[in-house]
Amino acid sequence: MILNWPVLVFDFDLVPYVVHDQRYLVGIAESPETVDELVAVFDSEGNRFRVEFTGEIPGLIPEGGDAEELRGMVRQAVTRYPKEFTKVLQAAEIDTLPISDLVRLVCARIKV
């Protein structure tokens, strides 16, 4: 599976982060000890990955997942953290957009 940047990362509180490249991933996944705080990673095509360290550098390993899991995380993030978004996503967008479009839209609307 090919990784398509940017990626959408959710921490254990379901706070969403946009990671544009490997350099930003290093900033989010600070050390092997903090990897457990990152509960889900989806690339711009909606593929799920997990963060894994090789030495001191974090990498993304393909992992199974389904569209409903991602949609649920986006719903919760929008509900819990509306101020994290430049424009709140509507329920119809979350429920009907193709997964790759949903990930791109979330990434575009998260405040940096």
Which pLDDT belongs to residue 10? 93
Query: Quick one: average pLDDT of 29-52?
Result: 86
Side chain identity, residue 23 = R
What's the domain range around 69? 1-112
* 48-105 per-position pLDDT tens digit: 999 988 877 888 999 987 788 899 999 999 999 998 898 888 888 999 999 889 998 9
pTM, rounded to two decimals: 0.86
Q: What is the number of domains present in the chain?
A: 1
Which pLDDT belongs to residue 8? 92
Residue 24 has pLDDT above 90, yes or no: no
Find out whether 41 and 60 touch, Cβ atoms under 8 Å: yes
- Give residue for tokens 């982060």: 17
